[in-house]
Amino acid sequence: MLARRRHVYFAMMGTCIALFVLAWAVVRIWSTPAAVAMCLVAMVIPPVAAMVANRRGPDDRWWDDPSGDPESDEWWDELDGKKRRP
């Protein structure tokens, strides 16, 4: 799931950059309002891309979920202050 979200994020950000570059290198020659509209669309893409990239998937481990490895879980619990060393 992480790789898929990463690919979607980079595709969205690539689209954003392409919109900015095309708007001011090509489209502005024929229509400034169209170039501004393209930039407005490109302005909305980065926050949406961040939300897509940081969305928790159904198989992702969350902060307090145990990993299944008792030694690792005990170590993380100790670091988080949940368990004190004897």
pLDDT in tens, 29-58: 999 999 999 999 999 999 999 998 888 776
- Taking residues 69-81, report their average pLDDT: 79
- Taking residues 7-34, report their average pLDDT: 95
3-state SS class at 48 = helix
The domains of the chain are located at 2-55, 60-86
pLDDT, position 18: 96
pLDDT, position 86: 57
Task: Decide if 37 contacts 28 (C-beta within 8 A).
Answer: no
Task: Decide if 53 contacts 23 (C-beta within 8 A).
Answer: no
Task: Give kind and range of the element (H or E) at residue 52.
Answer: helix 32-54
> Mutual orientation of helices 2-22 and 32-54 as an angle, nearest 10°?
170
